[in-house]
Structure 1
Amino acid sequence: MIMQKPEGISQLVEHLFRHESAKMVATLSRIFGIEHLNLAEDVVQEALGRALQTWPYRGIPENPSAWIMRASRNLALDVIRREKVFRGKEAEIARLIESGRSSTPQSVSFSEDEIADDRLRMMFVCCHPVIPPEAQVALALKTLCGFSVTEISRAFLTTEAAIAKRVTRAKQKIQEAHVPFEIPVGDEMARRLDSVLHS
């Protein structure tokens, strides 16, 4: 553990939010399913908040990203258990989590290729044809880039409420259409690539 002043910890957590949270959300979406995108975003935010509360007293872990990821996965599993959303799949989810877990948080990591694949899958989910183009970009900016609704609304020159509605509707469409968390192949890839490149 590395001891640091609270200001330094706040800056580190801000950095992790800006540069790591999208990767974590994408990976959690792969583990728990894209239908739990909101859960993935929420648990990453909660884990970042817990880091702000814990690290000033216990020190910064050797691998802060791994700590946040592990805390996020544990929080997600707690939510799923508590809400009994996946009662029939709890053993499978626990197995998936255990397969990526090791005895120490410092060694919890994912290969860059795996993270890149998850982010690419998430990009194809964000740009799925069931989602209107303007919502695709807003969802991608929020989910993959970690921009806030306020920042996105400024870029689009519109209200925060409008962007929040776009993002919410896009997530609903993903759930309703059971959009798969995968990279399309063949003709499907050819049809969908333009929307991904445009976003």
Structure 2
Amino acid sequence: MTTADIDHAIRAAIHATWRVAQPRLIATLSRMLRDVPLAEELTQDALVAALEAWPHSGVPDNPGAWLVATAKRRGLDHLRRAKMLTRKQEQLAHELMQEQDAMPDIDAALDDDIGDEWLRLIFTACHPLLPRQARAALALRMICGLTTDEIARAFLVTEATVAQRIVRAKRTLSRSGLSYEIPSGEALSERLASVLEVVYLIFNEGYSASGGEEWLRPQLCDEALRMGRVLVGLAPLEPEVHGLMALMELNAARKQARTGIDGEPILLMDQDRRLWDRRLIGGGLRALDRARELGGAGRFYTLQAAIVACHAMAETAVATDWRRIAELYGQLAALVRSPVIELNRAVALGMAEGPQAGLDLVDMIAEEPALGAYHHLHSVRGDLLEKLGRFAEARRSFETAARLANNARERVLMERRAAAIADSDG
């Protein structure tokens, strides 16, 4: 193996460890320091230390534990410099030295209730002092470790806009002295909508990763589901909590069927429905019923869950009630103006009324500024054009989708679809 290969392997190991450990490090340090922006800064310092040390010393046996120990040590150094070291913090320092000597497994190095720490972190990031648009962006940066570019793609805004929101949010958190906790009563209610949005976006990033080499990030899906169940316990009478839980469980039920043996994406129409998890489908349908019982039938997450339920209850793609799905997307579009919702409605119309109906709607929204660099617009258009026999246009649409896709797996999928059309056309 060449030196370049070794360097690449070490950097890949750092990247893989980082994506798993980053949110846990931030959660641990946030509780320790009571300062979320500082916790993120020290977590980044731990990554830099790994990038500097590991190429020379090699990847540690427990890379996650190494990052934990490094980040905690830097946190304690900060407390010492600030002359804030109390008896409790001295005990933490003693425990840290013992931890470094033993170098435990990452799970042992982190707090047992780390899941609740994640939720505390999200509630802190969703404080009403922060602008609504900044709350989710800050949480995605800290919890998912997304880059500003990836977050910008999720919100269909510019990278500069996202960066500005995050910087301002961190500054506000640093100056405010906010308590790091899950609130109760009215304080919980006023943050709940933003917290649901963050959990929803975390699940989406796990379900269909915006960047990187893999299409799925299962640990993010699992963590979002876990947090959703905690939220059901915190707010059992809030319909949208149940609506979000239904949406996540119904989508998660398809997880095993969404990728092939080598991790390549398998689109909904081609999935083996025998692999869908019937236990999760049952739980999702029960949560959907509960959301409706509580009066949430026409609300954001419940409507989306109802759409996914149409897929879950259909034995085949052809047997799916596409007209009902198109109607539900129409209700969703009336509730929230979004070109992405309209794009999804176009897919349903294309199935219910024929590809030309879907393409007409796609062409109506194609000039929306928010969709300028949105690769799904071009992949949907390519699919509809292919069904209409307009192969040259379809191939160009898939090529554009591949060029815009930030996820390696999606990019390869679009390239293959373009090549398949070229082959058949030839």
TM-score by length of 1: 0.83
Conserved? CA contact 1:138–1:163, under 8 Å: yes
8 Å CA contact retained: 1:13, 1:51 = yes
What does 1:40-51 align with in structure 2 at a 5 Å threshold? 40-51=39-50
Aligned length: 190
Structure label with greater radius of gyration: 2
Partner residue, 2:102: 104
8 Å contact from structure 1 (residues 62, 106) kept in 2: no
Residue in 2 that maps onto 1:154: 153
Separation in 1, partners of 2:164, 2:74: 26
In 1: Cα distance, 2:61 partner to 2:11 partner: 16
**Distance (Å, rounded) in 2 between the aligned partners of 1:154 and 1:92:** 43
Judged with a 3 Å threshold, the aligned counterparts in structure 2 of structure 1 residues 189 and 38 are, in CA distance, closer, same or farther, namely closer
> Any unmatched runs of 5+ in structure 2?
199-426
Paired AA for residue 10 in structure 2: I
Aligned residue for 1:175?
A: 174
Equivalent runs, 1:124-163 vs 2, <5 Å: 124-163=123-162
For the residues of structure 1 that align with 2:158 and 2:93, how far apart are their CA atoms? 39
- 1:48 deviates by 1.8
The residue number in structure 1 matching 2:185 is 186
In 1, Cα distance between equivalents of 2:94 and 2:153: 41
Residues of 1 paired with 2:174 and 2:54: CA distance? Answer: 36
Alpha-carbon distance in structure 2 between the residues aligned to 1:106 and 1:178: 33
Q: Paired residue for 1:56?
A: 55
Identity rate, percent: 35
In 2, Cα distance between equivalents of 1:57 and 1:195: 43
Structure 1: which amino acid aligns with 2:85? K
Match in the other structure for 1:30: 31
Does the residue aligned with 1:144 lie in a helix, a strand or coil? Answer: helix
Residue 135 of structure 1 and its aligned partner are, at CA, apart by 0.4
Q: How big is each residue's C-alpha offset from its partner over 1:101-151, in whole Å with a ceiling of 9 and x where there is no partner?
A: 52322255124x421111110000111111111000110111111011222
Q: Which whole-Å CA distance do the structure 2 matches of 1:191 and 1:154 have between them?
A: 27
Unaligned runs of at least 5 residues, structure 1: none
Work out the CA distance in 2 between the residues paired with 1:94 and 1:168: 32
Aligned match of 1:13 = 14
Task: Give 1:97 shift.
Answer: 4.1
Question: 2: distance between equivalents of 1:160 and 1:18?
Answer: 21
- Answer whether contact 2:46 2:67 (CA < 8 A) is retained: yes
Measured against aligned partners, the alpha-carbon deviations of 1:84-112 in whole angstroms (never above 9, x if no partner) come to: 32x1435543323434552322255124x
1:93 equivalent in alignment to 2:76: no
> Displacement of 1:175 after TM fit?
2.8
Distance of aligned partners of 1:56 and 1:120 in 2 relative to their CA distance in 1, 3 Å threshold = same
1:165 Cα deviation after fit: 1.6
Q: Which amino acid counterpart does residue 175 of structure 1 have in structure 2? A: S
Alpha-carbon distance in 2 for matches of 1:136, 1:169: 11
Structure-1 separation of matches of 2:173 and 2:50: 30
Residue 62 of structure 1: SS of its match in structure 2?
A: coil
8 A contact 2:127–2:191 mirrored in 1 = yes
CA shift, 1:13, in A, is 0.8
Q: Which runs of 4+ in 1 moved over 6 A?
A: none
Q: CA RMSD in A?
A: 2.3
CA deviation string 1:17-63 (max 9, x = no partner):
222101101111111112xx333222222222222332233232221
Are the aligned partners of 1:138 and 1:166 in contact in 2 as well (CA < 8 Å)? yes
CA shift, 1:6, in A, is 2.3
Contact 2:10/2:58 (CA < 8 Å) preserved in 1? no
CA drift at 1:172: 2.1
CA contact (8 A) 1:6 1:56 kept: yes
2:68 alignment partner, SS class: helix
